[in-house]
């Protein structure tokens, strides 16, 4: 059965989520995320349309802690810049919802969804609705007491976006391979696998683990962003002249330290990122020298190359003091790396 329209829809979903993640990153880097202090899913599509509307939005913003600290003395003109970034981000988020929900229900009504895929695809509109609610839950954490949003809620918001992307990406890849649901051991044409069962299972486990690891490393970067940890220790490879940075153990208990101490968050992300790059290169070398099928070698080569670019961008972001453009490229490449890792895991199921 031809699934060209479904594939285009899923690919559009992947692209829409990636764009929304990047713009969300910009709102974080520019401290714009709290500029809209209300959540109006429908009416919020329209920005302020009059001077009175702008004055009202500006006054509301001035009442939150961030406006009285991080943005102390902000003018109406500067506020408008912040507002527009957050408005675009929210508009894109609504767009993602439409890109997912409208085609899903259209295909469902016309009976054009493979029966085996309906439960999985049905999670997409549910997840995107949850993502919108989670986004507002995150924003609320920064409207009183705190001067920024909770890093835990920010990471949850990022993580859920990546889950949506992975579901769409994996399903699109499966449909391209001629399958309406994941399968093991034989390809779409029914031909025998190029790998022995044990070898295929080993590569599948390795690539699955690496994809999950990459997801976790990206989330660790979310804690760096949430704690503004990228603005300290802007040197490499040492941090404050030491391997383990000064102030690493400020918080009591490992978990509190890891997730609430900026120095520890940056140190952990550095270590995890460098390990990711090294492991990616090692997997490519193993596949190239171990007679792995060309499809797997090619997929792991892409993973290794993207991982190297990502590590280089991460170091550059730090050394340059987190400029918005470089930091956004770092975030976009993180999405590309996760996508490449997922595609590598998928490739092991096609050989």
Domain that holds residue 16: 1-182
DSSP for 211-241?
A: HHHHHHHHHHHHHHHHTTGGGS---SS-BTT
Same structural domain, 167 and 213: no
Same structural domain, 349 and 306: yes
DSSP assignment, residue 65? Answer: G
Domain C-terminal end among 157, 182, 207: 182
Same structural domain, 311 and 349: yes
The band of 190, judged by pLDDT with boundaries at 50, 70 and 90, is: very low
Model-level pTM?
Answer: 0.91
Contact 158, 218 (CB under 8 A): yes
Same structural domain, 69 and 218: no
Same structural domain, 279 and 318: yes
256: Cα within 13 Å, side-chain hemisphere = 5
Contact 15, 313 (CB under 8 A): no
Give the pLDDT confidence score for residue 186 in this predicted structure. 39
**For residues 86-114, average pLDDT:** 95
Domain C-terminal end among 160, 182, 204: 182
Same structural domain, 28 and 136: yes
Same structural domain, 125 and 196: no
pLDDT surpassing 60 at residue 268: yes
Contact 218, 226 (CB under 8 A): no
End-to-end CA distance of the chain: give it in Å, rounded. 21
Give the pLDDT confidence score for residue 195 in this predicted structure. 59
Higher pLDDT, 115 or 179: 115
Give the pLDDT confidence score for residue 181 in this predicted structure. 44
Same structural domain, 178 and 190: no
H/E run at residue 171:
helix 151-176
**Rounded-to-integer distance, Cα 229 and Cα 225, Å:** 6
Kindly report the number of other CB atoms within 10 A of residue 281's CB atom: 17
Same structural domain, 163 and 192: no
The band of 178, judged by pLDDT with boundaries at 50, 70 and 90, is: confident
What are 239's strand-pairing partners? 242
Contact 196, 287 (CB under 8 A): no
Contact 277, 310 (CB under 8 A): yes
pLDDT surpassing 70 at residue 133: yes
194-249 pLDDT tens trace = 556 777 788 999 999 999 999 999 999 999 999 999 999 999 999 999 999 999 99
Same structural domain, 192 and 178: no
Domain count, the chain: 2
Contact 236, 164 (CB under 8 A): no
The band of 180, judged by pLDDT with boundaries at 50, 70 and 90, is: very low
Domain C-terminal end among 182, 197, 218: 182
**Rounded-to-integer distance, Cα 169 and Cα 106, Å:** 20
pLDDT surpassing 90 at residue 193: no
Same structural domain, 166 and 210: no
Q: Is 90 left (phi over 0), alpha (psi -120 to 50) or beta?
A: alpha
Residue in the structure block whose two tokens are 């829809």: 9
Same structural domain, 177 and 207: no
């Amino acid at each position: 059965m031809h699934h060209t329209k479904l594939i285009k829809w899923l690919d559009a979903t992947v692209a829409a989520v990636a764009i929304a993640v990047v713009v969300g990153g910009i709102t974080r880097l520019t401290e714009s995320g709290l500029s809209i202090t209300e959540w109006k899913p429908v009416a919020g599509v329209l920005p302020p349309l009059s001077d009175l509307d702008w004055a009202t939005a500006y006054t509301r913003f001035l009442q939150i802690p961030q406006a009285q600290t991080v943005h102390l003395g902000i003018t109406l003109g500067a506020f408008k810049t912040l507002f527009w970034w957050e408005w675009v981000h929210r508009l894109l988020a609504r767009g993602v919802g439409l890109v997912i929900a409208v085609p899903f229900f259209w295909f469902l009504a016309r009976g054009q969804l493979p029966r085996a895929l309906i439960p999985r695809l049905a999670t997409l509109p549910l997840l995107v609705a949850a993502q919108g609610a989670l986004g507002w839950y995150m924003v609320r954490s920064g409207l009183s007491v705190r001067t920024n949003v909770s890093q835990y809620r920010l990471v949850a918001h990022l993580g859920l976006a990546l889950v949506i992307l992975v579901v769409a990406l994996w399903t699109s890849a499966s449909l391209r391979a001629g399958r309406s649901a994941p399968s093991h051991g034989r390809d779409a044409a029914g031909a025998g696998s190029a790998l022995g069962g044990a070898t295929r299972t080993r590569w599948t486990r390795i690539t699955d683990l690496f994809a999950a690891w990459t997801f976790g490393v990206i989330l660790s970067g979310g804690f760096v962003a949430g704690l503004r940890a990228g603005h300290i220790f802007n040197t490499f490879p040492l941090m404050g002249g030491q391997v383990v940075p000064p102030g690493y153990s400020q918080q009591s208990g490992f978990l509190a330290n890891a997730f609430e101490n900026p120095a520890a968050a940056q140190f952990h992300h550095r270590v995890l990122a460098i390990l990711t790059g090294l492991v990616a290169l090692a997997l490519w070398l193993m596949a190239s020298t171990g007679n792995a099928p060309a499809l797997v070698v090619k997929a792991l080569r892409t993973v290794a190359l993207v991982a190297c670019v990502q590590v280089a961008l991460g170091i550059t972001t730090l050394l340059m003091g987190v400029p918005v453009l470089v930091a956004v490229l770092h975030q976009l490449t993180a999405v590309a790396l996760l996508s490449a890792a997922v595609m590598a895991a998928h490739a092991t199921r096609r050989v």
